[in-house]
Structure 1
Amino acid sequence: MKKFLFLLLFLPGLAHAQLADNFSDGNFTANPTWTGDAASFQVNAQVLQSNGPAVTTTQVALSTPCQATIGTVWEFWANLRVVTTSGNYADVWLIASQADLRATSNSGYFVRLGGTGGKVSLFRKDSTRTAVAVIDGALNSLSTTNNLVRVRVTRTTANQWTLERDLTGGRAFVAEAAQPLDATYQRSVAVGVFLNYSSTNNRNFYFDDFVVTDATAPLLARAVPTDARQVDVVFNEAVAAASAGLPANYRLQSGAVPVSAQLSATNPAVVRLAFAADFAAQDVLQARNVADLYGNVAAGPLTAAFTSLPAAPAFGDLIISEIFADETPQIGLPLSEYLEIHNRSTTKTLSLRGVRLGKTSSTTFAAFADTAKLLPGQYAIVCGSTRISQFTQYGKVYGPTNFPSLNNGGDQLILRGRDGRTLFEVAYSDTWYRDAVKKDGGWSLEMIDTNNFCAGASNWTASTNASGGTPGRANSVRAANADALAPSLLRAIALNATTVRAYFSEKLDSAAAATVGRYALATPGPAITRAAPVGPDFRQVDLTLATALLPSRPSVLTVQTATDCVGNASGVLQPATFALPEKAVSGDVVINELLFNPRVSAVRFVEIINRSNKFIDLQGWQIGSVKPDGTASTTVLSTGPLVLAPGQLLAFSSSLAIITTQYPTSSDAANLVQTASLPTFADVGTAFLADGKGFEIDRFVYSKALHLSLLVTQDGVSLERIRTNGPTLGSNFHSAASAAGYATPGRPNSQAQDEAGGDQELTIMPEVFTPDDDGQQDFATLNYHLDAPGYAASVTVYDALGRLTRRLTRNETLPTNGFIQWDGTDEKGHKAAVGYYILLVELFRPTSGEKREYKKTVVLGARF
């Protein structure tokens, strides 16, 4: 028998044997090494013999490493000198997941010799479960007290099993009829023997001539992508690292070769390939010259087709293309809010796993399920989790929990990737409908050109579909609407002594915007050390300075170029002047114009002006209103940085669109700021201005009586400050001129007057005035410059015949410099007649008893 096996080992079919042991060396501890219950076995006459404890129900095992699993032949000889029963049998493991064959969690395949029925059978064991027969052998094959058998088991590369045995111990094999398919286990660590016996049979099991042969080349089972550029190549058996780890042995159908090939440390049948570019949606992998562990080479090419995995979306891949924020009145769509998302890629399937949808005003986000995906070019509807059934008729629908409530008037929506990066952002407004009827509800907002996804109002409009929208499909308003304009620099603000924020007209390419060399401060100015684009819309860039700025010291920011998010690049941009803001004190910033009684369907506004030499940050400042009953309400003017330069004015309103419509020629959009709301100003009340800490900066006690009494209506007419540096008193305000449209939001006041010049004690300006509210000499001012404080004054107007026309002041204490105005009306509020008038000025100093009296002439005229 030993000579026969020795010759077999030199046959060509056995040249690739992974294991061959006939124990001719007299041991089982080397060539190969068997481990386990070594004390329970011995080699006797060049045969492996059991030698365990003489105890009933003893179990012993011995194994040796072997990774052969498929395209393999296993052979062994055995002699069981026992009457086989359920308590006396031997299991010869062909494929085992663990070297310890007695472990209850062991998995794989084994041949059972004996047991109930005295069979030679092939079993499969699934971890802790009871083994099941794969090939159930013939009854009573092993039924004597001296059972001699040689077994051969073959598993093809197609996972078909054959069990053969020769009950004489020779090689005249007889096959069992069944040849089943079973591909459950593809990996192995060991082969070996497991014995279960009674006390009298402890030395009655004999084994010899173990041979495991793999003469088949490996096959490519499948290719499994793990991301957009990596794929796991799975072979049907373990492969050799030397050949499997060569990138040149693989390629895609496009000809691309991987940049790396790494054999798995946990599964030697798997090789991970990494490529330099994303896979196509459908791809084919080719493998050549890959060898198994036994030298069998697959010349190839072996091929495996695969579908690329859904890729995590990059910026601009996944967008919101439709917004249905106001569902009533119903036009045709369901009465539920929805958003439409769109995969802009024509080649990539996008995985929505971990993608989050929300509003920048909230910390709660809706997360898509791990299985959510969008095919190239596909649209999907996103709605509340309880509203999915309302939209299934339109196409793919996702209903994540925490779907954000959409504000009818406008909101800022954002999509973030699972790594937190911004994928898409839009700050929509109901002005984007461009249609007063559709703005009232029932119609969706649709993106016009999805290739211009960074644009705002210019690329959105109301749906034209008769149902009110196009959920789940291409938009009804789709058209080419490319962005051909490069970004401009709007302004710059010093957030603190070493940080300057630059504001741009549109969304920037965040990577390009982070280039420090694009920015500089005009000499002499500190160097810029860092540029950090500000998400989520990237319209701002925070610049870090090497040295600190000085308060209210103007600096100039220059930008060499700016690139928007679709790639339009500018040249050198218009520079922006800024300075580090200072704290304001009372009177630095004052109310410059107030519209408290707007026209029907119009809105109020408040205009302020910085009359100091400081740069002042209005962040957190409030405008307030106190009614005669003492109740007050306030509105924050700006939640973010908003710096007011010396001499600069800004007007605040809840609707800039209405303001510019009401005052098209007398407003300046560059100096208008939108607020969420403004306080309600009664016809009589107090307007006040407070800083971010609530400290009062200015207060204006106003009433409708301050308006020119000759006005036909006061609706839509503002009160304007006459002199910037004058007090915030009713006497320093006048109705805006009719020629200026009755209000000048964001522009210099129509009734503004320069300070009186010269050294004269009393002057009249102008000497001829025409109170017709046309903005030209609408009132006369008595300017005074007194030689000392403490004077009280009475100013009375008389006509040319000496008749009392109007008392302007009566025993009113005056500052040393100021003015008193006459609007041309008499004591009853009627317009005085055209002609000459005398202003009698009586000054009295109570401390000294000194009296002075002056007469000034003025002409009240009329235009013809």
Structure 2
Amino acid sequence: MLLRLLRALSLVLLAAAPAAAQLNESFTDGDFTANPAWTGDVTSFQVTTQQLQSNGPAVTGTQIQLATPGQAVTGTTWEFWANLRLATSSGNLADVWLISEQADLKAAGNRGYFVRLGGTPDEVALFRKDATGAAAYVINGADATLASTTNNVVRVRVTRSAAGLWNLERDLTGGNSYTSEGTATDNTYLRSQYLGVLLTYSSANNRAFSFDDFRVSDQTEPGLSSATPQAGTLLDVLFNEPVAANTPASAFRLGSGAVPTGAIRDATDPGLVHLTFANTFPLGTSTVEARNVVDLYGNVATGPLTASFVYNGTPIQPGPNQLLITEILADETPQLGLPASEFIEIHNPSTTSPLDLGGVRLTKPGNTALAVFGSGAILLPGEYAVVCASTRVTQFASYGKVFGLSNFPSLSNTGDQLLLRARDGRQIFEVNYADTWYRDNSKKDGGWTLEMIDTSNPCGGADNWLASTDPSGGTPGRANAVRAANPDRTAPALLRAVAASPTLLRLTFGEKLDSALTANPALYTLAGGPAVQRVTPVAYDFRAVELTLAAPLTANQPYTLTVARATDCVGNASGPLSSATLVLPAAAVPGDVVINEILFNPRTEGVDFVELLNRSGKYIDLQGWQLGRVRPDSIAENRTIISEPYVLAPGQLAVLTSRPDVVQAQYASSSEPAAFLPALTLPSYPDDAGIVTLLNAQNTRIDRFDYSQDLHLALLDTRDGVSLERLRPDGPSRGSNFHSAAGSVGYATPGRRNSQFLAESASSQQFTMEPEVFTPDDDGQQDFTTLGYRLDAAGYAASVTVYDALGRLTRRLVRNETLPTSGFIQWDGLTESRHKAAVGYYVLHIELYKPGGGAKKEYKKTVVVGARL
């Protein structure tokens, strides 16, 4: 009792004097929720006989915690008493946090230092916890120090000098005869907000932890760590620990003798003081001095304390690619480790020039409300900063510099185009991100940021962005986790040239261009055509330029366009010449462009695709065309194929899909990447049956195909990932003109000639068999046969039946079906029961009924079902 009275008296004396104790907690008042206030799992602790005791759920694997404010970091001594009445192990231990950034000691991204009591080595050790990875030893205490199974009493004392030298001591009797566990230097973290206890236990030990006599004392004067100019008259000075809120401006002066006109301690970092001077700093290196600066605990640094800084001049207004967007969190849920709020990160890649962001605008195309950086917003050389909505600034305060903007644009989860524009409207930076840039299906579902890989390659697009690899989900306010050298050494390639109108050409390149260097009309020549009068780079990504011609083009006549030089935004120039053929397109009529191949039942993790074929002799512009689906309720579901000019040449293929990368990966040896149009959202095509429609820009139906899984070869083990291919390009868009793609080519040929392609028969005979010997084994060679016909009049009806060599019925192909004047009937080698027909001779019996009820005519054609040896 006498000891308790003396302790209480000491608390009163300490409270009455300017002592150096930040915390002195012995729970003599029987309450841990006030004086000081401990927060956290308060229902899982109690004060028993003036000691803090655990009283959490009796469940194995439970973690409980309490934390209280604590800002001492250097020149500090931490002391506490503990008793662990259990056998310590990896599942029964106590972590006493001395320095913590967060009140939530369990948080995976928390940073700081803690003393571990127990664990597998049964030790007393000092650890550092970073935002990523497992905790690391600072001082590895001796093993088997806490060896009792029922009573591990220990008093711990930890000191950290102003230079960052740690000393860990303990007394296993609970007294003050300390034994050192070792020393080490670590200056990783110089800021603290909390200290506390975090307990891990099994069900039998929920009440086995007791603590007492927490004392934190700082008896060391503050040190000056650094000085950083924020503008010509603004200087930030950073101390190694929190300083008094009323630190006066008179405590500072420059080496030149200049005294600041004002000094304000930072609202969130009490070790940071903002100084304002009347005159601009001289260029080059200067020194600031500090005298009589007091820390939070009454320690006075009489000084002079000095720090040097370099001023590079007045901040400049950013020009093209001098201010970058380097990180994007568009989908904040599910929350991983970052604040549940959309943000972008900006970066100043310069090593010398600060940027004046005042008046810079963040926006999206079509947005009328602009998010504008305020006057005085500065981004230092090499600095990163978070940009978020003005109401979300406090959520990002711990990540460094934050700019909160009114009208911060909403970021679409699947993709968006973001623009940074100067105060005069000039474009500074553009990024048109998409969720495919994550290259990780699990991360694109939310909680992870997209990060730029190489900041020296700002125009790299999808090839220079990747999902963050930081365990917290991103790296706001600091260098990206995925950073690596990823330079652009490739000159811009001319992808296509199209005639948008008789006097306007649109050229599309493979990457962003230097808009100024590509705007010279002398760089462009149109062989046999009119001269180029004007060149206009197309905002916002500048991957395209528009050429205005002096006279109109002639429709459907090919021209060769030559580009002498094109320069991308990082200075790579094409050469010696790039050329492309272009044509003023002609109007399409139904049947000019047809559905040539369709995958409607993709593999696992696969996607649908539709392939178009221009089977006409025209050059046809697909701009504004739509790919559709007619649903059972007759409601059309249409999707625009491409919103910009895209001319399809005679015989050219175009592949439409939501994920060109996935289709190309799954059919790597049988696809043609150049034939893929930009990703679009396809209509939802069912796996069993559906209707595909193709409409031009005037909503005229150009083609329609009614597909069904029954059109697939019945011998297939699975139809998943197998496309239906058109057999004859000039044939009708009916099921009889489609067949499963061959297994020998991987079951699909997106962008390439169909594996089941059949040329139009040149025979003048009334009936022909092609081929006369076929092998229905799905190897892409003679997998089926066709009965071609040419009739002398329209309106004939026919029945076609297959018999084997013994005259037995094998398959009914057609029954009383009206035929056009020419066409073909397919036999896939299957019997009426959908089994493969035996090897041998077969006879196709053809019954032809003359128009107007004339006499029936009969024909026979022989075919052989073979097999490959």
Question: Which residue of the other structure, out of 332, 342, 347, is the alignment partner of 2:347?
Answer: 342
Report how far residue 604 of structure 1 moved: 1.0
> Which residue pairs with 2:438 in the alignment?
433
- Which residues of structure 1 form unaligned runs of 5+? 1-223, 227-279, 285-304
Structure 1 segment 462-481 matched on structure 2, within 5 A: 462-481=467-486
Q: How far apart are the structure 1 equivalents of 2:311 and 2:446?
A: 47
Report how far residue 632 of structure 1 moved: 3.0
Q: How far apart are the structure 2 equivalents of 1:580 and 1:650?
A: 19
> Which residue pairs with 1:779 in the alignment?
784
Q: Is the CA contact 1:498–1:547 (under 8 Å) kept in the aligned structure 2?
A: yes
Moved more, 317-326 or 622-631: 622-631
> Which residue pairs with 1:532 in the alignment?
536
Deviations 1:408-467 (CA, angstroms, capped at 9, x unpaired): 332221111122111001122333334444334333222222121111122222333333
Deviations 1:697-752 (CA, angstroms, capped at 9, x unpaired): 11112222211122222222111111111111111111111112111111111111
Report how far residue 625 of structure 1 moved: 1.2
Q: Is the CA contact 1:722–1:733 (under 8 Å) kept in the aligned structure 2?
A: yes
- 3-state DSSP of counterpart to 2:498: strand
> Which residue pairs with 1:605 in the alignment?
609
Structure 1 segment 302-321 matched on structure 2, within 5 A: 308-321=313-326
Q: How far apart are the structure 2 equivalents of 1:458 and 1:729?
A: 41
Report how far residue 685 of structure 1 moved: 2.5
> Which residue pairs with 2:636 in the alignment?
632
Shift in CA distance, 610/307, structure 1 to aligned 2, threshold 3 Å: closer
2:374 is equivalent to residue 369 of structure 1 = yes
> Which residue pairs with 1:665 in the alignment?
669
- 3-state DSSP of counterpart to 2:753: coil
Deviations 1:550-594 (CA, angstroms, capped at 9, x unpaired): 111111111111111111112134411111122211111111111
Report how far residue 373 of structure 1 moved: 2.3
Q: How far apart are the structure 2 equivalents of 1:821 and 1:659?
A: 29
- How many residues are paired up? 567
Report how far residue 599 of structure 1 moved: 2.3
Q: How far apart are the structure 2 equivalents of 1:481 and 1:588?
A: 44
> Which residue pairs with 1:509 in the alignment?
514
> Which residue pairs with 2:863 in the alignment?
858
> Which residue pairs with 1:577 in the alignment?
581
Q: How far apart are the structure 2 equivalents of 1:531 and 1:380?
A: 37
- 3-state DSSP of counterpart to 1:339: strand
Q: How far apart are the structure 2 equivalents of 1:480 and 1:599?
A: 35
Question: TM-score normalised to the size of structure 1?
Answer: 0.63
2:411 is equivalent to residue 406 of structure 1 = yes
> Which residue pairs with 2:365 in the alignment?
360
- Which residues of structure 2 form unaligned runs of 5+? 1-230, 234-279, 285-309
Q: Is the CA contact 1:281–1:349 (under 8 Å) kept in the aligned structure 2?
A: no
Q: How far apart are the structure 2 equivalents of 1:829 and 1:794?
A: 19
Question: Which residue of the other structure, out of 413, 426, 432, is the alignment partner of 1:421?
Answer: 426
Q: How far apart are the structure 2 equivalents of 1:705 and 1:781?
A: 18
What is the root-mean-square deviation in Å for CA atoms of aligned residues? 2.3
Q: Is the CA contact 2:414–2:435 (under 8 Å) kept in the aligned structure 1?
A: yes
Report how far residue 225 of structure 1 moved: 10
Q: How far apart are the structure 1 equivalents of 2:706 and 2:457?
A: 50
2:666 is equivalent to residue 642 of structure 1 = no
Deviations 1:65-93 (CA, angstroms, capped at 9, x unpaired): xxxxxxxxxxxxxxxxxxxxxxxxxxxxx
2:802 is equivalent to residue 810 of structure 1 = no
One-letter amino acid of the counterpart of residue 572, structure 2? N
Report how far residue 309 of structure 1 moved: 4.0
Q: How far apart are the structure 2 equivalents of 1:827 and 1:720?
A: 23
Shift in CA distance, 768/281, structure 1 to aligned 2, threshold 3 Å: farther
Q: Is the CA contact 2:232–2:281 (under 8 Å) kept in the aligned structure 1?
A: no
- 3-state DSSP of counterpart to 1:563: coil
Q: Is the CA contact 1:281–1:347 (under 8 Å) kept in the aligned structure 2?
A: no
Q: How far apart are the structure 1 equivalents of 2:743 and 2:500?
A: 41
> Which residue pairs with 1:831 in the alignment?
836
Report how far residue 765 of structure 1 moved: 0.5
Shift in CA distance, 797/282, structure 1 to aligned 2, threshold 3 Å: farther
Q: How far apart are the structure 2 equivalents of 1:839 and 1:767?
A: 11
One-letter amino acid of the counterpart of residue 810, structure 1? R
Q: Is the CA contact 2:312–2:352 (under 8 Å) kept in the aligned structure 1?
A: no
Report how far residue 620 of structure 1 moved: 1.6
- 3-state DSSP of counterpart to 1:530: strand
Question: Which residue of the other structure, out of 378, 383, 390, is the alignment partner of 2:388?
Answer: 383
> Which residue pairs with 1:494 in the alignment?
499
Shift in CA distance, 436/813, structure 1 to aligned 2, threshold 3 Å: closer
Deviations 1:28-69 (CA, angstroms, capped at 9, x unpaired): xxxxxxxxxxxxxxxxxxxxxxxxxxxxxxxxxxxxxxxxxx
Report how far residue 629 of structure 1 moved: 4.0
Report how far residue 544 of structure 1 moved: 1.0
2:595 is equivalent to residue 591 of structure 1 = yes
- 3-state DSSP of counterpart to 1:415: strand
Q: How far apart are the structure 2 equivalents of 1:432 and 1:730?
A: 38
Q: Is the CA contact 1:435–1:462 (under 8 Å) kept in the aligned structure 2?
A: yes
One-letter amino acid of the counterpart of residue 324, structure 2? I
Moved more, 433-442 or 478-487: 433-442
2:691 is equivalent to residue 686 of structure 1 = yes
Q: How far apart are the structure 2 equivalents of 1:355 and 1:316?
A: 13
Percent identity at matched positions?
Answer: 61
Structure 1 segment 252-291 matched on structure 2, within 5 A: 282-283=282-283
Report how far residue 665 of structure 1 moved: 1.4
Q: Is the CA contact 1:508–1:562 (under 8 Å) kept in the aligned structure 2?
A: yes
Question: Which residue of the other structure, out of 702, 708, 711, is the alignment partner of 2:707?
Answer: 702
One-letter amino acid of the counterpart of residue 432, structure 1? W
2:771 is equivalent to residue 750 of structure 1 = no
Deviations 1:214-268 (CA, angstroms, capped at 9, x unpaired): xxxxxxxxxx999xxxxxxxxxxxxxxxxxxxxxxxxxxxxxxxxxxxxxxxxxx
One-letter amino acid of the counterpart of residue 567, structure 2? T
- 3-state DSSP of counterpart to 2:748: coil
> Which residue pairs with 2:23 in the alignment?
none
Structure 1 segment 44-55 matched on structure 2, within 5 A: none
Q: How far apart are the structure 1 equivalents of 2:798 and 2:647?
A: 41
Q: How far apart are the structure 2 equivalents of 1:459 and 1:705?
A: 44
Deviations 1:75-113 (CA, angstroms, capped at 9, x unpaired): xxxxxxxxxxxxxxxxxxxxxxxxxxxxxxxxxxxxxxx
Moved more, 439-448 or 755-764: 439-448
> Which residue pairs with 1:568 in the alignment?
572
Q: Is the CA contact 1:357–1:366 (under 8 Å) kept in the aligned structure 2?
A: yes
Report how far residue 361 of structure 1 moved: 5.4
Moved more, 476-485 or 646-655: 476-485
Structure 1 segment 289-308 matched on structure 2, within 5 A: 308=313
Question: TM-score normalised to the size of structure 2?
Answer: 0.63
Shift in CA distance, 793/623, structure 1 to aligned 2, threshold 3 Å: same
One-letter amino acid of the counterpart of residue 602, structure 2? P
Q: How far apart are the structure 1 equivalents of 2:439 and 2:605?
A: 18
2:541 is equivalent to residue 548 of structure 1 = no
Deviations 1:292-336 (CA, angstroms, capped at 9, x unpaired): xxxxxxxxxxxxx99854322111111111112232333322111
Report how far residue 283 of structure 1 moved: 4.7
> Which residue pairs with 1:820 in the alignment?
825
Moved more, 759-768 or 359-368: 359-368
One-letter amino acid of the counterpart of residue 669, structure 1? P
Structure 1 segment 200-211 matched on structure 2, within 5 A: none
Q: How far apart are the structure 2 equivalents of 1:398 and 1:616?
A: 49
Shift in CA distance, 307/596, structure 1 to aligned 2, threshold 3 Å: closer
Deviations 1:365-423 (CA, angstroms, capped at 9, x unpaired): 31212332222322211011211001111111111112122223322211111221110
> Which residue pairs with 2:737 in the alignment?
732
Q: How far apart are the structure 2 equivalents of 1:707 and 1:458?
A: 38
Q: Is the CA contact 2:312–2:353 (under 8 Å) kept in the aligned structure 1?
A: no
Q: Is the CA contact 2:390–2:405 (under 8 Å) kept in the aligned structure 1?
A: yes
Moved more, 420-429 or 478-487: 478-487
Q: How far apart are the structure 2 equivalents of 1:675 and 1:730?
A: 27
2:775 is equivalent to residue 767 of structure 1 = no
Structure 1 segment 64-463 matched on structure 2, within 5 A: 282-283=282-283, 308-360=313-365, 362-463=367-468
Q: How far apart are the structure 2 equivalents of 1:310 and 1:630?
A: 62
> Which residue pairs with 2:622 in the alignment?
618
